[in-house]
Structures are given as structure tokens and as C-alpha cells.
Amino acid sequence: MRVDVLTIFPEMFRGPLDVSIVGRARAEGHLELHVHDLREHARDRHRLTDDYPFGGGSGMVMKPEPFFQAFDALAPGWPGRPWVVLLSPQGERLTQRKAVELSGRPFLCLLCGRYEGIDERVREGLVDEEISIGDYVLTGGELPAMVLIDAVARLLPGVLGSPASVAEESFTGGLLEYPQYTRPRVFRGMAVPDVLLSGDHGAVRRWRRKQSLCRTALRRPDLLLLAPLDAEDRRLLRELKDEGVFGDGVPAVEQVLAAR
Ligand code: 9WO
């Protein structure tokens, strides 16, 4: 996959994307990343990328010209037309599903805004899709772009050693992760649950599933309602309920147990 980024802060992309799995994905050619400085495409004398808002108001707006100029300058060297994504709080939420969908595209172009907003004609003329990484305002789209690249890069074929990890994510099927442990067996008085040392693979699998269900019910009941649950899952949820884990009751658990 190829990813081009347009930003007035290209130096922000040095570091996070040079190391670890994304760094290796780039070194091995699974991900080709090109970060472009929008300021180099600002035509005016002062290379301005922002201007005052028409209609008045506080704050500055990102000018449209640098984005369009950058496209005109870069397009002749591009292998095709990229899928253009603007990172913005007004976008559709980045989910694992969206990351999987984007990972299937051969060529992305990520637009990063700054200031208090971006001239609307950038959306009209260049953007295929607007994506948000969450409901908070940042100082720009650069960190969200890096989050998107990280989420997508690890899904590219050959990037993760075992596709089993990726398969397990979809197998865990919309539930939260179970607790994980490594050595030592006892650390500062905190012991690893006995079942994980038992060698009973069936018991380990059931314990993990039960823990995933428990955590999801308590922390993300919205996800529990969406997850594909089978008869064993409902049995484990009933066990947790009978153990008093859900206190006065979690509505999502009642709903799931009533449904069958
Ligand atoms: C700033 C602001 C100040 C006063 C009143 C309204 C305001 N809106 C904004 C604003 O949205 N600024 C953005 C900053 C302009 C585009 C780039 N910025 C940005 C992107 N902030 N947060 C994101 C972002 C992108 C993707 N996912 C989450 C947040």
C-alpha cells in the first residue's frame, strides 16, 4: 500500500512511523509512505497556509490553494488516483472495520488540517471520505493520520508475523480482550490465575471467554449487544450474573440473556 500525507508539519511524522511494526512494514516494502510539506505548495510570497475567515469570527482558516496545488504538483508522479481522506472531528469514526476496509485500498492520501478549520472547498473538490478518531478537538489532523496509518499498516499482508493474530481479533468478535499474564507466576504478591497454569486447554479457553464477556459487559455494554454470542456465551454470562459480578444488574446482560 502507498500512503501520501499532506501536512504543514511533516517533521511530526518522523519517529512514530519509523519504529516498531510500522517501521518494519516500510523497510520491507509493505507500506510506502510519502509525507509532503503543504507549505512548499503555498504559492504566495510568504507561503501562507492560513487566512482570516469570510464572515468574520475568531481564529484562522486553512487556505484551499496549498492542498490543490500539492495535488496538481504530485499527481503526475502518482501511480493512480488515491483514495483521499481528511482527518477531522466531523468525520465517520475510525473503527477496526473501517481500518480493515482502508487496508484494502492500494493508495491513500491523507489530508491534515490545522488552525480552526479548513476551507470547505477542500472537502468539495478533493476529499473522498472524512474520518475522525474520536470525539475530541486536537490542534491538527497529524496525530489522527498517524493513528490511522498505524491501524491500517498492521493489517497489510505480511506485516504481522502470523495472520493468526489478525484472525484472532475478528474471532474475539467484538468483545474486549481477556487478561493476559507472563512470567513470573507470582509478582509482588499478585499470582497468575491457576487455570492458566493447569494445562487444560479447554478450561483456559472457557476462562478467557468468560473474562472477555465479563469485561465487555461491565465496561462496554454497547459492544456486548453487537457481538455474535452463542449458547455457551450466554451460559458464561449467567454464571457471572449468579456470581454477583454484575451487582444490581447490567441491562445489556439482561437483554442478551432474555433474547436467546
Ligand atoms: C477549532 C475550534 C476552535 C473554536 C471553535 C471551533 C473549533 N473547531 C476547531 C477545529 O475543529 N479545529 C480543527 C483542528 C481544524 C482541523 C484540524 N484540527 C483537528 C483535527 N482537530 N481535531 C482533529 C481530529 C481529527 C480526527 N479525529 C479527531 C480529531
Homologous superfamily, domain 186-258 = tRNA(m1g37)methyltransferase, domain 2 (1.10.1270.20)
Q: Is 59 a pocket residue for ligand 1 (Cβ < 6 Å)? A: yes
Mean pLDDT, rounded, for 123-133? 98
pLDDT for 202 equals: 98
Q: Is 117 a pocket residue for ligand 1 (Cβ < 6 Å)? A: yes
Mean pLDDT, rounded, for 233-248? 98
Pocket perturbation via mutation, ligand 1, pick of 8, 58, 86, 88 by most ligand atoms within 8 A of CB: 88
CATH 1.10.1270.20-classified regions of the chain: 186-258
- High-pLDDT (> 90) share of the chain, %: 93
pTM across the whole model: 0.95
62: β partners? 50, 118
What would the pLDDT profile of 2-31 be if each residue is shown by its tens digit?
999 999 999 999 999 999 999 999 999 999
Q: Is 211 a pocket residue for ligand 1 (Cβ < 6 Å)? A: no
What would the pLDDT profile of 147-203 be if each residue is shown by its tens digit?
999 999 999 999 998 777 676 666 578 999 999 999 999 999 999 999 999 999 999
The CATH code of the domain at 2-153 is 3.40.1280.10
Q: Mean pLDDT for the chain?
A: 96
pLDDT for 167 equals: 66
CATH 3.40.1280.10-classified regions of the chain: 2-153
